Structure 1
Amino acid sequence: MLSDKTKKLTRQAYNGIAEAIPNFARRKEQNFLIAEIAKTLAGEYQKQRRIMVVQAGTGTGKSLAYCLGAIPQALASGRKVCIATATVALQEQLMHKDLPLVQQHGGMSFKFGLAKGRQRYVCLSKLELLSGEAGEEEGQQALWEKKPANADIAILKRLHQAYHHGKWNGEVDSVPEPVPDYLWQQIGSDKHSCNKQLAAHRDCPFHKSRDDMDSWDVLIVNHSLLLADLELGGGKILPEPDSMYYIIDEAHHLPQVTRDFSAASANVKSTSDWLGKLEKSVHKLARELRSDRATNQASELTDDIEAITDGLGQVADFCEANPKLFDNPELRHRFEHGELPEVLITLSTNLKTACNQALKRTTKLQQMLMEAVKDGEIKGFQAEPLVADIGFHMQRLEGLTQLWLMMAKQDSPKGAPLARWIERVEFNQRSDFHVSTSPIEIGFMLEEMLWSKAAGVALLSATLMALGSFDHYRHQVGLRNDDGTRYTALPSPFDYQQSATLYLPKLDIEPQDDRFGDMLIKKIPELLEEETATLVLFTSYRQMEAVADTLRMHKKLPILVQGEKARSELINEHKQRIDDGKVSILFGTSSFSEGLDLPGEYLTNLIITRLPFAVPTSPVEQAHAEYIKSKGGNPFLQLAVPDAAKKLVQSCGRLLRNESDYGRIAILDRRLVTKRYGSSLLDSLPPYRRHIEY
């Protein structure tokens, strides 16, 4: 139950913040949300399952609301708050604006910080080895996947120098110069080669950050780090789930992030090449350990590696013998209903067994190494390259084991099958085959990992409902209507009728028509007349670029196009043009339909060229549609339409960012009027003033 003391503390915090902010608007929607979150987390509605799902419209002030709804209750109950977001922008807002505000004016004493995944920190041991600063030439070469370029070594040397001169803190987000992704993957910290038993690891950037985290009352994380901890059972990276209240903001991203996080893949031929390096590494380690036990483990591991290599060779032979499988534009074969042919089932099962045995033996060798360090048989400085080397191999072997475990898994007839597919790819200038697998539905995973374990959860976003209902989202994340979860939809405080017009001009052509591009070239200039700040959203890069090129050539329009410069540069240039009293036209695709903040005069004219229906080109989307159809459902109505409804709301949400904003939204897709589902999509939008020419 929510105590009187906690209620009083919450009210005092809210009043203190309201007094500190000039012209603070006390919104009933925000007050209601604070109370609902606090009551849910305190167990007033449901003691066993403290979960709520909230759609809070733009302008509700949800970040301040969940801070005030969760933090006082957490402090009173001795728990922590974990705020998970999908974007860096929101993390920065929480770190540098919202939480400092609550801390300074809310009358509560608490600490907070941004927790990052292990891979966001450099491993100093790897950096020294790979840059050659450790003086271990053999260890340096063993860690590289291929011979490094001199330019890469030079970057690592400069990073090493910057860290030890106090000019860099070891985080990827603050590197003093750009570091290519492939290079960072070589020097990033990982769980297998990071060991506090070794002196060089005790003061590394990652462990320093984790020591700080223990003192935080509020943790900010991204969705991926949250899932990384939950996959390990919870409490391994972050505090235990039953000791935390989870606030999952931007929660509409959670299903996709969970699905991506749970997928596995690997190349066939290049993996065989890497296995040769693994074999050399384990025998080198066995020689250093100088024990019969280690030698026996290395010999048995050689047998496992031979079995894996043989199995991968047979997978490659199967692919080479069936070229028609890849005779399509995507060079890909997806197995219908996730069902593998008998030969691949056998190979996958054998590979799963061999990979699992290899991982166990490699883990034992790593344990022997650390025992030898502990017993003084191997000096710490001698162990450094060995630990880094074996850790790198364990990380990769773990991923390979997961892939073949999922490929070999027998799907339950009660649930959706796994999506499984193979692609022909070019890797290191030769033909290879990329094997992948992914879950289709992930609700049961979130139930097992989070909903059933957490002290309390609040999921929030401006776009969780589809077609006026939470049903689609509820199914995606594994919640039910009768499990005690609370669902709340809060309207935006914006006066949509007065602030914005939704304009549907009469058009004769639908987007599927070959003449649609020509129609856009004719119609968009008409919608730009007497307008200063315009954003035009496309669903296709190709169409966006074609329209932009034509309008620049024939109409001499000042168009800024996504992809031609960095996103931040484009936005700054757009704003500068507006500040200078000039016209600015910004062209973007789906990534500009979310997270783009152009308040006030920076955007008054929004043009959406077509409804944001996703083309089911990814194997997972295709498999999901296939599964729905196999159950007698309609993939278009059950997946495509709800998804398009949410994306359309997000796109339209670019126009009004503050209560004083105004403007027009024009949608150039006649299907809103001509198709049966069109009225449902229109009704899912905020109540704009409508001007429909049909």
Structure 2
Amino acid sequence: MLTDLEKHAIRDHYQNIALSLPNFRPRKAQREMIAAIANAFSRSLPQAEGEEAPKRNGESILVVEGPTGVGKSLAYLLAGGIMAQTRQKKLVVSSATVALQEQLVGRDLPFVVEHSGLSLSFALAKGRGRYLCPYKLYQLTQLNAQDSLQGFEQPSLLWDRKPKKEEIAVLRNLADQFASRQFNGDRDTWPEQIDDQLWQKVTNDRHGCLKAACPNRSECPFFLARDTLENVDVVVANHDLLLADIGMGGGVILPAPINSFYCIDEAHHLPQKALQQFAAEHSLNQAMWFLDRVGNVVDKVAGVLDKSELAVAATEAASGLQESLQEWLIQLAEEPDLRVEEGKNDSSWIWANGQIPAHLAVLVNNTAVCARMLLKHINSLNEALSVARRDKNQDGSFLDLLSGDLGLLLSRSEQLVSVWDLLATEVVEGEAPLAKWIKRLIGDKVDYSFHASPISSAAKLAYGLWHRAAGAVLTSATLRSLGNFDLLLQQTGLKGMTDTAMLALDSPFHFAEQGELYIPALTASPREPAAHTAEIVQWLPKLINAHEEIGTLVLFSSRKQMQEVALKLPDTYLPLLLVQGELPKQVLLQRHHDAIDAGKPSIIFGLDSFAEGLDLPGELCVQVIIAKLPFAMPDNPIEKTRNQWIEARGGNPFMEITVPEASIKLVQAVGRLIRTESDYGRITILDNRILTARYGKQLLACLPPFKRIG
């Protein structure tokens, strides 16, 4: 239960905001959200260190849909910040997008601190890969200090080829700027674009890192950032980092779940982000390149540690894995689904229902065994090397260099094991299968990539996060599908946690007065792409006045259709048109702003990514036209495997998954119109299925109550 101290603190700090801002208007929905979050976190079950975790059933978890205008970030920062302080927890705020992260750190948190009187310290958390490793950077720039690169010798696994002069120049510049403290080591603060492959040379992972033994530990940007996280009240992260931390057991990068209250904004992205995090893949050719280098590294380690037996075992495991991959090359060359066809960039072979093809069962298991043996032996060598590095009589610099190389081997080995363990997993009857597939990659050499992924992240989220977290709130402007939270609860693993609280807040907007909904009587169905495109081309000039000084957003589900419509519009519309993909997003939006500010009309053609998170208030967006209902095509192996599984159980994937997901996307697209209490405009839907199909009424019922016209 909430204590009197917590109740008074929340009330007083909220009142401080109202008193410090002349135009601040307390919102009923915002106050309701603050109270719900505080009550949820007050139900957190205590757990002392060393004690067995209490059995959690969602009692301290809240799912809250807060429409645009509610003020969600203020609600969860104020309530979450106070509850975290009074209950001795950390507040971990996670978002799906960089834009929201920057908003939270650059605007929302400073606002709360300044106007509420609540003392909150905060920091932005990033993954290790966003920071350079000073040790690796200095190592590379010192080893390649000569202007002439003739006689280049590969000092480690950092280069798989002779470096280019321009690459060395970039590295030297990085080193000079970092040494003079004009660059803080955070990739996002470097003023120029850095090639991903080059950046990989100067960043590090947890295996390659020398940790406390590193001579550059005191200036390491990653560890300096980590030290900061230990001493702040609020940690702002993204979903990828949160899920990576959970995947490593929790508390490795971010505060431990047992000590954390989570505020997960943009929570509708969490299930998909989790699937991406828990999936695994590797390229055959990259694996072969890596395996070729195992013997050289482990022999050096064995020579220092007198561990020749381990080195021999690791080399033999690497050779066995190479033989297995060579056998895969032979087998896959005969697979019909992987034949290269003219006009196709790649081809994929999806294993039906995640089952291993009978003729490959032995090869799959042999490959998995070899990968596990390789990881086991490299792990053993790494542990022995760690012991040796603590011996001050050893040559520390040489051991550090070996440790970096062995760390890279360990990381690559873990990647291989994660793929092959999933591929070798047998489908248990009644349980959701894994999606498994192989792609043929187009390039100079024949190459394949092996993939495996769960079709649902529910179980991993339930046991990795919800059962361990002190408390959590999941929020977004759109979380319900077809009027309920069922899809989200199912996808996030909260379905079985029956004490989870749910709250759908009312919008502060007056939709019936601020907006209109128009559904023209089109004759062509989107199932007839050519006819539907032709009819859109006929309708747009009727809907958009080329002389009216307003912004229009036209949303498409298909890039091909968007481009065809753009090409076929009357010439008078072409100077007004801004098409996604033809310009960088920020440049496109700036041109749109400039046109409206200059009193000119402007039309944006956009795809799915413009249907969410795009904020164009006032005259910037007075009309939203939706070309087609946003049904996802089950065109990736995970969705295809999931749909096969649903059908095998007698279900209908279209009605169970596709329609509910389309409902969320449609509400998000419609949400681009009314962003403030003074906005106005019209929504037009150019898809007759919303009137004729049996699911159409369900989709319409979920839209805001705009005035229907036409």
TM-score (norm 1): 0.96
Following superposition of structure 1 onto structure 2, how do residues 494-643 of structure 1 map, counting pairs within 5 Å? 494-513=509-528, 514-529=530-545, 530=548, 532-551=550-569, 553=571, 555-643=573-661
Is the 8 Å Cα contact of residues 304 and 354 (structure 1) preserved in structure 2? yes
Following superposition of structure 1 onto structure 2, how do residues 27-106 of structure 1 map, counting pairs within 5 Å? 27-43=27-43, 49-106=59-116
Code of the residue aligned with 1:21 in structure 2: it is L
SS of the residue 1:273 aligns to:
helix
Give me the whole-angstrom Cα distance separating, in 1, the residues matched to 2:464 and 2:194: 34
SS of the residue 2:583 aligns to:
coil
1:325 Cα deviation after fit: 4.6
SS of the residue 2:442 aligns to:
strand
Deviations 1:386-421 (A, max 9, x none): 222222222111111100000011222232100001
SS of the residue 2:212 aligns to:
coil
1:193 Cα deviation after fit: 1.1
Structure 1 counterpart of 2:130, from 83, 107, 120: 120
Q: Structure 1 stretch 124-133 or stretch 196-205: which is displaced more?
A: 124-133
Aligned twin of 2:51:
none
SS of the residue 1:392 aligns to:
helix
Is residue 238 from structure 1 mapped to residue 268 from structure 2 by the alignment?
Answer: no
1:555 Cα deviation after fit: 4.4
1:133 Cα deviation after fit: 5.3
Code of the residue aligned with 1:279 in structure 2: it is G
Is the 8 Å Cα contact of residues 139 and 385 (structure 1) preserved in structure 2? no
Is residue 455 from structure 1 mapped to residue 470 from structure 2 by the alignment?
Answer: yes
Structure 2 counterpart of 1:490, from 478, 497, 505: 505
Aligned twin of 1:282:
298
Code of the residue aligned with 1:32 in structure 2: it is E
Is the 8 Å Cα contact of residues 337 and 348 (structure 2) preserved in structure 1? no
Is residue 315 from structure 1 mapped to residue 358 from structure 2 by the alignment?
Answer: no
SS of the residue 2:429 aligns to:
coil
Is the 8 Å Cα contact of residues 196 and 202 (structure 1) preserved in structure 2? no
What residue ranges of structure 2 are gaps of 5+ in the alignment?
Answer: 46-55, 147-151
Give me the whole-angstrom Cα distance separating, in 2, the residues matched to 1:57 and 1:324: 45
1:481 Cα deviation after fit: 6.2
1:47 Cα deviation after fit: 8.7
In the alignment of these two chains, the number of paired residues is 688
Is the 8 Å Cα contact of residues 627 and 687 (structure 2) preserved in structure 1? yes
Give me the whole-angstrom Cα distance separating, in 2, the residues matched to 1:265 and 1:171: 27
Deviations 1:59-117 (A, max 9, x none): 11111011122111111111111111101111111111111122222222231111111
Code of the residue aligned with 2:110 in structure 1: it is P
SS of the residue 1:582 aligns to:
coil
Aligned twin of 1:13:
13
Is residue 110 from structure 1 mapped to residue 120 from structure 2 by the alignment?
Answer: yes
Structure 2 counterpart of 1:442, from 457, 461, 466: 457
SS of the residue 1:199 aligns to:
coil
Is the 8 Å Cα contact of residues 270 and 432 (structure 1) preserved in structure 2? no
Identical positions, percent: 39
Following superposition of structure 1 onto structure 2, how do residues 354-503 of structure 1 map, counting pairs within 5 Å? 354-427=370-443, 429-480=444-495, 483-503=498-518
TM-score (norm 2): 0.94
Following superposition of structure 1 onto structure 2, how do residues 112-151 of structure 1 map, counting pairs within 5 Å? 112-132=122-142, 138=153, 140=155, 142-151=157-166
Is residue 292 from structure 1 mapped to residue 306 from structure 2 by the alignment?
Answer: yes
Q: Return closer, same or farther for 1:674/1:208 CA change in 2, 3 Å cut-off.
A: same
Give me the whole-angstrom Cα distance separating, in 2, the residues matched to 1:236 and 1:119: 14
1:556 Cα deviation after fit: 3.7
Aligned twin of 1:211:
227
Give me the whole-angstrom Cα distance separating, in 2, the residues matched to 1:215 and 1:140: 39
Following superposition of structure 1 onto structure 2, how do residues 646-665 of structure 1 map, counting pairs within 5 Å? 646-665=664-683
Deviations 1:517-569 (A, max 9, x none): 11122211221113521111111112212222232757444211111111111
1:369 Cα deviation after fit: 2.5
Q: Structure 1 stretch 531-540 or stretch 147-156: which is displaced more?
A: 147-156
Q: Structure 1 stretch 470-479 or stretch 150-159: which is displaced more?
A: 150-159
Code of the residue aligned with 1:11 in structure 2: it is R
Code of the residue aligned with 2:314 in structure 1: it is L
Code of the residue aligned with 1:570 in structure 2: it is L
1:619 Cα deviation after fit: 0.7
Code of the residue aligned with 1:292 in structure 2: it is D
Give me the whole-angstrom Cα distance separating, in 2, the residues matched to 1:108 and 1:647: 37
Aligned twin of 1:169:
184
SS of the residue 2:609 aligns to:
helix
Is the 8 Å Cα contact of residues 275 and 305 (structure 1) preserved in structure 2? yes
Deviations 1:461-508 (A, max 9, x none): 111110001111111111126620011111211110111111111111
Q: Return closer, same or farther for 1:23/1:49 CA change in 2, 3 Å cut-off.
A: same
Q: Return closer, same or farther for 1:140/1:664 CA change in 2, 3 Å cut-off.
A: farther
Give me the whole-angstrom Cα distance separating, in 2, the residues matched to 1:505 and 1:462: 28
Give me the whole-angstrom Cα distance separating, in 1, the residues matched to 2:385 and 2:20: 57
Code of the residue aligned with 2:361 in structure 1: it is I
Code of the residue aligned with 1:396 in structure 2: it is R
Give me the whole-angstrom Cα distance separating, in 1, the residues matched to 2:216 and 2:28: 54
Code of the residue aligned with 2:331 in structure 1: it is F
1:234 Cα deviation after fit: 1.0
SS of the residue 1:464 aligns to:
coil
Give me the whole-angstrom Cα distance separating, in 1, the residues matched to 2:500 and 2:653: 27
Give me the whole-angstrom Cα distance separating, in 1, the residues matched to 2:251 and 2:44: 26
1:199 Cα deviation after fit: 1.4
1:135 Cα deviation after fit: 5.8
Structure 1 counterpart of 2:175, from 160, 172, 197: 160
Give me the whole-angstrom Cα distance separating, in 2, the residues matched to 1:591 and 1:181: 23
Give me the whole-angstrom Cα distance separating, in 1, the residues matched to 2:22 and 2:324: 68
Is the 8 Å Cα contact of residues 198 and 380 (structure 1) preserved in structure 2? no
SS of the residue 2:440 aligns to:
strand
Q: Return closer, same or farther for 1:469/1:33 CA change in 2, 3 Å cut-off.
A: same
Give me the whole-angstrom Cα distance separating, in 1, the residues matched to 2:411 and 2:583: 36
Give me the whole-angstrom Cα distance separating, in 2, the residues matched to 1:482 and 1:321: 47
Aligned twin of 1:301:
314
Q: Structure 1 stretch 539-548 or stretch 83-92: which is displaced more?
A: 539-548
SS of the residue 1:245 aligns to:
strand
Give me the whole-angstrom Cα distance separating, in 2, the residues matched to 1:305 and 1:399: 14
Code of the residue aligned with 1:646 in structure 2: it is I
Give me the whole-angstrom Cα distance separating, in 1, the residues matched to 2:429 and 2:200: 39
Q: Structure 1 stretch 400-409 or stretch 38-47: which is displaced more?
A: 38-47
Is residue 184 from structure 1 mapped to residue 199 from structure 2 by the alignment?
Answer: yes
Q: Structure 1 stretch 243-252 or stretch 273-282: which is displaced more?
A: 273-282
RMSD: 1.9
SS of the residue 1:82 aligns to:
strand
Is the 8 Å Cα contact of residues 285 and 447 (structure 2) preserved in structure 1? yes
Give me the whole-angstrom Cα distance separating, in 2, the residues matched to 1:526 and 1:48: 52
Is the 8 Å Cα contact of residues 269 and 313 (structure 1) preserved in structure 2? no
Is the 8 Å Cα contact of residues 562 and 589 (structure 1) preserved in structure 2? yes
Deviations 1:101-154 (A, max 9, x none): 222222222311111111111112222233445769645463113333332222
Give me the whole-angstrom Cα distance separating, in 2, the residues matched to 1:44 and 1:615: 41
